[in-house]
Amino acid sequence: MSSHLFAPSYKPEPFWWERSPLCAEPEPALPTSADVVIIGSGYTGLCAAIQTARGGRHTVVIEANAIGSGCSSRNGGQVSTSIKPQCGDLSRKVGDKLAYDIIKEGHNALKWIGEFVEAEGLNCDFNVVGRFYAGHTPGQFEIIAKSIENPPKGLETDAYVVPKAEQHAEIDSPDYHGGVVFPRHASVDPGAYHKGLLGRAREAGATVIGHCRADGMSGTAGDLTITTAKGQIKARNVIVATNGYTRGLSHWQRRVIPIGSYMIATEPLEPGLIKRLIPKRRVVNDTRKLVAYYSTDPKGERILFGARVSIAETDPTAATPALHAELVKRFPDLAGTLITHAWMGFVAYTFDEMPHLGERDGIHYSMGYCGSGVSLASYFGTKIGQQVLGLKEGDSPLSQIAPPTRPYYWGEPWFLAPAVRYYRWRDEHLS
């Protein structure tokens, strides 16, 4: 380990766990039956549980590791409209109406999460700070500037272009050639948000059990048995909410591609410096295909920087020198800045770059947020809970499309290393 990069207090775990440590309380016993069993205790699982428990269903959430230890307590806290495909591309695949409705779901999710956090009174530093989407080449800047022109009615975003000459008001970085501001995008403390959801799920009557891995499911719709590390539980309904950690659960692992995403937190910076680097405390990402995303922490003291830097998965400490180098590429002033935390987690991509929710063989699922799950996992988790209750509000156009897989894909993304190499080359050579 390059020791000159690491602060004496360095920890290889999420910065967010300082404020919101993972639960260490004794776990409740596994009941023998429930109306609804939810597998996975992230945003998807807990938002679904809030719905089903409030709907009067005896709800049990089971989690393979510590409660919330998946992506939902370790992400970058950036909240956006999130659906990856562009409207035009999607229209060609699924038709204009469905494409419009799907993109609209991303807008709905962003609006919904702000209202939900407020209505529930969740204390999680949810702030509408806006996003700066930076062009890393002049050509990419032109493309993103053009992409916000003439949005279809109902998909307006208030986004506006910031040319390179005015960019210093958004970010002090020599790496960019202008960008686009999305004023409605937000930031949140993801660990505190998860804690808030856990509290609401429990208050509603859900039982949440950690260290209780689901190893298999049998039975038919309405009469299912889940075999877990703590015994068997029978359920009328099951929701699979395992996203990037979906392994061993039959055909779902063939439909999501787990990809490691890596983050570092800097030591607290000098207040004048951080105010110059990201003056409006926006969340930031750029046009590189190997995505980098960053922001200040909620107190505005340090920078939290995330990216995909390694060809193969690695441990977060080993990834830190490359992440630090990417940070310094954007902010040369941070060359001597120390790192206090480094961590990683597995996001779930899908073969069509869209999330999917619905029911198959009597089992409900919601997953595949393609790295943008703070709003989507919460929104679709809520919807899948409503679908279990048979409520109209649970309808989503995304339930009309089954998650695709590919021949020779069984859950191990063997194609990831060549893809990362290709995208790295492409990011460096685009004009």
Among 261, 320, 340, 386, binds ligand FAD (CB under 6 A): 261
The token duo for 255 is: 């439909």
- Tokens representing residue 131 in the block: 């996003």
Cα separations in angstroms, 296 against 73, 214, 263, 270: 17, 37, 13, 13
Q: For the chain, give percent helix, strand, coil, nearest 5.
A: 35, 25, 40
DSSP secondary structure code for residue 127 in this structure? B
Evaluate whether 342 touches 320 at the Cβ level (below 8 Å): yes
Stretch that binds ligand FAD, among 19-27, 30-38, 235-243, 387-395 (CB under 6 A): 235-243
Residue 44 CB, shortest distance to ligand FAD, in Å, is 4
Q: Determine the interface stretch with ligand FAD among 74-82, 120-128, 313-321, 391-399 (rule: CB under 6 A).
A: 74-82
φ/ψ of 280, rounded to 5, equals: -100, 10
69 binds ligand FAD (CB under 6 A): yes
What phi, psi does 312 have (nearest 5°)? -110, 165
Cβ atoms of residues 215 and 228 within 8 Å: yes
Instruction: Report d(CA 431, CA 424) in Å as an integer.
Output: 14
Give the pair of three-digit tokens for residue 376.
Answer: 């989507």
Cα distances from 289 to residues 12, 100, 308, 380, in angstroms, run 26, 24, 10, 26
- Is 181 a binding residue for ligand FAD by CB under 6 A? The answer is no
**Per-residue contact flags (x/-) with ligand FAD for residues 281 to 300, judged by CB under 6 A:** ------------x-------
Strands 6-11 and 339-349: parallel
CA-to-CA distance for 37 and 239, rounded, in angstroms? 6
Q: Which CB, 76 or 403, lies closer to ligand FAD?
A: 76
Per-residue x/- mask for ligand FAD, residues 309 to 348, rule CB under 6 A? -----------------------------------xx-x-
Phi, then psi, of 235 in degrees rounded to 5: -150, 150
Place of tokens 């990809």: 259
Task: Please pick, from the candidates 51, 59, 78, 287, the single residue that binds ligand FAD as defined by CB under 6 A.
Answer: 78
Kindly state whether residue 242 participates in binding ligand FAD, applying the rule CB under 6 A.
yes
Report the site for ligand FAD in 184-223 (rule: CB under 6 A). Answer: 213-214
The maximal CA–CA distance of the chain, rounded, in angstroms, is 65
Please tell me the count of residues contacting ligand FAD according to CB under 6 A. 42
Residues 356-395: x where in contact with ligand FAD by CB under 6 A, - otherwise, as a string: -----------x-x-xxxx--x------------------
Q: How far apart are alpha carbons 44 and 270 in whole angstroms?
A: 37
Query: Least separation, in Å, of the C-beta of 121 and ligand FAD?
Result: 21
Contact between 177 and ligand FAD by CB under 6 A: the answer reads: no
- Binding segment for ligand FAD (CB under 6 A), chosen from 5-13, 27-35, 70-78, 135-143, is 70-78
Binding mask 12-51 for ligand FAD (x = CB under 6 A): ---------------------------xxxxxxx------
Q: How far is the CB of 238 from ligand FAD (least distance, A)?
A: 11
Q: What residues line the site for ligand FAD (CB under 6 A)?
A: 39-45, 62-65, 69-72, 74-78, 213-214, 241-245, 249, 261, 263, 293, 306, 344-345, 347, 367, 369, 371-374, 377
